[in-house]
Structure 1
Amino acid sequence: MVPQTLGAVASFLALVAPGIVFELLRERRRAGFKESPFREASRVALGSLAFTLTACALLIAFGAAVRALSGVDVVVPLDRLVNGGAAYVRSHLPLVLTSVVAELALACALAALLDLLLARHRSEVTSVQQQTAWHQVFRRDRPPGSVPWVHVHLVDGTSFFGFLRSHTASGVPEEREIVLEGVSMTYLGKPLDGAETHVEDVIGERWARVVIPATQIKYLRVQYRDRESGNLLDTRPRSSAPSPT
């Protein structure tokens, strides 16, 4: 059944939000895996139901305790809501809205707390990046003020060298592309006229960009060069392990 009104849509989102929060947090700590949409939706729904019911139980208990001590309703009383129905909601709208927001915040907080407890129990790492190696090398590992200088070696043995212009960050690997540029962009391989000898041609003086599909790439090699001077930056990791004697 598809929600038809704005209130129904908001209620639906509020119900599934805790499960979505829990799944998003868990994805940061574990490698992703493929599953059917039905299984994924079922896990989100069950998690949301558990967090929502727990949050409602805690709020009802808290509201009953406050009402017993002070006679003031800080949370919508379940019995009055059931007996009064829509009339009670209209006459106590601020209290109803406050209760809904409090329930949603508490349910999401419970989801975050459970994720933290599971992570500590299983000694999980802080996060697992759901990114491609291309994104890691070209974006996250790139030093500030630098630009990647890329050697693209193709499956046919030819190579292109150039500064990274852009690349496809995600999606189907077969549909990714990489774009090189720069006046020093170089082609290394067989001449286009079909001759057998290999040539090294600085094509950046004549061509602005080269677009290379991932299906033709055998491997990539990357350097990081200063954006202003063009000098090579040494970003190789330094091992802290003692040298063998």
Structure 2
Amino acid sequence: MVPSTVTSVLIFLLVVTPGIAVELQWQLTRPRRDESTFVEISRVLLAGVVLTATSAVLLAGLRLIVPGSVIDISELLRYGHKYVASNPGLMIRSVLGIPLLALALGVAAVDLFTSTRARRIAQTTLWHAVFAQAAPMGARTFISLQLKDGTAVTGYQAGYSTDPDPAKREILLAAPLTVRREHSGKKVELDNAWQRMVVAGSEISSFAVSYVSERPYPLVASRHVRSLKWISQNVWKLSLIFGVAIILTLAVVGL
């Protein structure tokens, strides 16, 4: 559903957006479950309402300290459009401040109450994790395929399809290519004229990979990677700092 009125946009911004953000972060460390659409929507709306209400209460307390920082809900309900027309800047600050604060609180709450031992769950296939994500930068992936008929095939990974059904996927191998038939202890290396081999996923029983790099030493994580890791380990702290920054900004502007 696409919001089509001002009221719908405000409801989406104030309630749905924080709930969706919490739901997405919540799914990062929890396995998928078979749930109805009603349950998922209810969880999103409940989280959004709680976070928005908490943000509104915090900003209402801020208004008691700094009267011009955010809107006065009672005045807004009493005078409606007249209050909005006479306080456009205040309305914009409040409409932006409440959902941003709700987002910060939601992210902080999920990260704070998630066990530090919880591993991030990527909604992706193990093929992609092994062939792309786990491979060190600059390394080539060497694959040993064990086929269902007992044949073993080796070669460098040159590509793979990403169909949700593993039986419909395919792996593209690059030379040098070797084949060992069942009950044969000898590997046969194909002629260099054969540069590529496509193996259907339905024929694969298992596979093992090795990451081959010309560098004789482990690759050191770049500063960019280390920065992202530090951020991921301090999400709730950064979120709370962001929330405090929002409140301080509204307070300063209202002075």
Which interval holds the TM-score relative to the shorter structure? Answer: 0.7 to 0.9
How do 1:38-49 and structure 2 match up within 5 A? 38-49=38-49
Residue in 2 aligned with 1:216? 203
Residue in 2 aligned with 1:86? 81
Q: In 2, Cα distance between the equivalents of 1:9 and 1:170?
A: 36
How do 1:1-245 and structure 2 match up within 5 A? 3-5=3-5, 8-9=8-9, 11-67=11-67, 73-119=68-114, 123-130=115-122, 131-168=124-161, 171-182=164-175, 184-189=176-181, 201-203=188-190, 205-226=192-213
What's the offset of the Cα at 1:169? 5.3
Q: Does the CA contact (< 8 Å) of 1:29 and 1:124 recur in 2?
A: no
Look up the SS of the partner of 1:205 in the other structure. Answer: coil
Decide whether aligned partners of structure 1 residues 173 and 41 sit closer, same or farther in structure 2, where only a CA change above 3 A counts. farther
What's the offset of the Cα at 1:49? 1.0
Which runs of no fewer than 5 residues in structure 2 stay unpaired?
220-255
Q: Does the CA contact (< 8 Å) of 2:22 and 2:110 recur in 1?
A: yes
One-letter code aligned to 2:23 = E
Q: TM-score, normalised by structure 1?
A: 0.75
Q: Which has the higher contact order (CA 8 A, sep 6+)?
A: 2
Q: Does the CA contact (< 8 Å) of 1:178 and 1:212 recur in 2?
A: yes
What's the offset of the Cα at 1:173? 3.1
The farther-off stretch of 21-30 and 147-156 is: 21-30
The alignment of Structure 1 onto Structure 2 pairs a total of residues equal to: 218
The share of aligned pairs that are identical, in percent, is: 31
- State the superposition RMSD in angstroms: 3.1
Look up the SS of the partner of 2:66 in the other structure. Answer: helix
Q: Does the CA contact (< 8 Å) of 1:17 and 1:48 recur in 2?
A: yes
Which deviations, in whole Å up to 9, do the C-alpha atoms of 1:213-244 show, x marking residues without a partner? 32221000112222x59x9x999xxxxxxxxx
Q: In 2, Cα distance between the equivalents of 1:157 and 1:234?
A: 35
Look up the SS of the partner of 2:120 in the other structure. Answer: coil
Q: In 1, Cα distance between the equivalents of 2:109 and 2:38?
A: 23
Decide whether aligned partners of structure 1 residues 205 and 87 sit closer, same or farther in structure 2, where only a CA change above 3 A counts. farther
Decide whether aligned partners of structure 1 residues 10 and 66 sit closer, same or farther in structure 2, where only a CA change above 3 A counts. closer
Decide whether aligned partners of structure 1 residues 2 and 27 sit closer, same or farther in structure 2, where only a CA change above 3 A counts. closer
What's the offset of the Cα at 1:17? 1.6
Q: TM-score, normalised by structure 2?
A: 0.72
What's the offset of the Cα at 1:111? 0.9
Q: In 2, Cα distance between the equivalents of 1:25 and 1:189?
A: 47
Q: Which has the larger radius of gyration?
A: 1
The farther-off stretch of 167-176 and 39-48 is: 167-176
Which runs of no fewer than 5 residues in structure 1 stay unpaired?
68-72, 191-195, 236-245
Which deviations, in whole Å up to 9, do the C-alpha atoms of 1:13-47 show, x marking residues without a partner? 44212112222222233233232222111111111
Structure having the higher helix fraction is 2
